[in-house]
Amino acid sequence: MTATDPAMTALAQSWCALSLLHGRIETHIERALQAGHRLSVREFSLLDVLSRQHTGPGGHLQMKQVADAVVLSQSATTRLVTRLEDRGLLSRYLCPTDRRGIYTDVTDDGLALLGEARPTNDTAVREALDEAAKDPELAPLVKAVEALRAPA
């Protein structure tokens, strides 16, 4: 296969279209969350991931798991946790059974902000997908994303 191979070109074009769709959606969500809630997409994602934790065995995520879920490095995730902790949206404490482990939980204020921001996020996703569906290059990707939705 060469760099000018039509199959490779088509694959590269498909990847570019997917990247374009992602960028448009993320930009639209970012603007909506910033304007309405002073949250970035990453901050919203972090609050969302951490809000799904539960008490009991395996209920709390390790920082690597959190980093993977929000698609950031561990160091960037730690900085993000610190910023949200400084805003009173997250709290950290030592694991009661392993003093080396540190848990991060969403505070009541964080849960309230997440609850307020979730409809904004959902609306922004829908708006961005609807706009992207008008682009013939992106329309098939929008259909694929919509097909991935979990059943109600």
- The predicted pLDDT at position 5 comes to 66
* Mean predicted lDDT score pLDDT of the chain: 90
Stated pTM of the model: 0.86
Total domains present in the chain: 1
Give domain status of residue 132, yes or no.
yes
Question: Contact at 8 Å (CB) between 128 and 41?
Answer: no
> CATH code at 58?
1.10.10.10
Q: What is the rounded distance in angstroms from the CA atom of residue 149 to the CA atom of residue 139?
A: 16
Give domain status of residue 40, yes or no.
yes
Give domain status of residue 1, yes or no.
no
Give domain status of residue 2, yes or no.
no
Find the domain containing 135 and state its range. 8-147
Show the tokens assigned to 9: 């070109």
Give domain status of residue 45, yes or no.
yes
Give domain status of residue 3, yes or no.
no
102-113: average pLDDT: 93
List, in sequence order, the alpha helices (H) in the chain.
6-37, 41-51, 63-70, 74-86, 108-132, 139-147
